Amino acid sequence: MVTSLNEDNESVTVEWIENGDTKGKEIDLESIFSLNPDLVPDEEIEPSPEIPPPSTSSAKVNKIVKNRRTVASIKNDPPPRDNRETQMKDLDVITIPSKDVVMVHEPKQKVDLTRYLENQTFRFDYAFDDSAPNEMVYRFTARPLVETIFERGMATCFAYGQTGSGKTHTMGGDFSGKNQDCSKGIYALAARDVFLMLKKPNYKKLELQVYATFFEIYSGKVFDLLNRKTKLRVLEDGKQQVQVVGLQEREVKCVEDVLKLIDIGNSCRTSGQTSANAHSSRSHAVFQIILRRKGKLHGKFSLIDLAGNERGADTSSADRQTRLEGAEINKSLLALKVN
C-alpha cells in the first residue's frame, strides 16, 4: 500500500505486511510508470480557480489512485493518536487522494489466508483530510450559506458522522484538555461573517438585529443551554411549523458576545465517555443565528453538531445508561436517512 507521497524527490513510500511484520521502501515515480505505462496521465485536468493546482507528482499519483487496476493509495501523515488508539494499534483506513474523492481501505483475507486491502472510492463536492483547518472546511461548506439569511432565507449546516470523527471539533472549535477554543469553530466563523455582512451598505440600511439560541436534544427531550438547561417543549404552530416553546433568544452585538454564549452552552452540554470515544457528545447541539427586522424574523442559520452514531460492538462493554443513550442517538439519526 502506498502510504505517503514525497513531492520533493517525486517518489512514494510503499508499505506491506510480511509474516506479521510491517515492511516498507521508497520507490520513485518514474520506476512505477516504466513498469506500468498505462498509469501515466494522458491529459491535463483544468484546476479549480479556488484551489491551487497540484504538483506534477501529485497529479501523476492521483492518476494511479483512480485506476481500478491498482491497489495504490495516497495517505497523508496521520494525526496524533490517543492512548487507547495506540494500545489497540489502530490504523487509518481513510485516504483523501484529491479534493473531491475519499478512498476507504478495507482489510480482507483470501481463502489461502493471504491478506490484502480492498479500496473503495466515494466522490463528494469537497473532501478534506486531517490537515485541513476548520477555516478551510468552513469556507467551502457553511460560508456560502451566510448570505442566504440576509436574503430572508433559512439555512442549515450540520456535522454528521461516527463517534470520535471530529464533529464537535469542527463545529465548536479546538480542544486542549478540558478547555475549548470556540473561536476556531464553524459556530464562531459563521457569526464573524454575519457581523461583517451587517456592515455592507445594502444590509446596513435594513437595521437588522442579531440574536442567538443554543439548545440540545438529549434522549428525545429538548433543553435550553443558555437558560440553565431548562426543559423545553416542541410544538407545531398554526402554520404547521415546528417551534421550540420557551427557547431563550440572546441579542448579540459582536463576535465576542457570541463566543461567550458558545462557552456557556458547551459547558452545559451533555457528554460522556464510551469505549469508542473518551469525550463523546451524548446529545445533538443546535446553535442558531437569527436575524430580526423590527421584531420580525428575517433569516435564520441553524448550525448543528449531531451526536455520533455508534456501532453495537463499540457499546457492548458499556453500562446500561450508555447503551440506552447510544440507542436513542442512532434512532434519532435514522430520521436523516429515512428523509
Binding residues for ATP: 161-168
CA R_g for the chain:
24
DSSP state of 330: H
Distance of CA 301 to the CA centre of its chain: 18
Cell numbers placing 102:
475519499
Q: For residue 56, what are the contacts with CB-CB under 8 A and spacing of at least 6?
A: 10
Burial of 4 (0-12, 13-18, 19+ CB in 10 A): middle
CA distances from 144 to 87, 91, 134, 139, 158 (A): 42, 35, 15, 7, 14
Please give the annotated binding residues, written as ranges.
161-168
Cell numbers placing 127:
473532501
Q: How would you label 190-211 residue by residue, b for 16+ Cβ within 10 Å and e otherwise?
A: bbbbbbebbeeeebeeeebbbb
State the DSSP string of 240-259.
Answer: S-EEEETPPPEE-SSHHHHH
State the DSSP string of 307-325.
Answer: PPB--HHHHTTS-HHHHHH
Rounded distance, CA 339 to CA 334, Å?
Answer: 9
**φ, ψ (nearest 5 deg) of residue 28:** -80, 150
Rounded distance, CA 259 to CA 264, Å?
Answer: 9
Cell numbers placing 243:
417551534
Rounded distance, CA 151 to CA 148, Å?
Answer: 5
Q: For residue 104, what are the contacts with CB-CB under 8 A and spacing of at least 6?
A: 93, 94, 119, 120, 121, 122
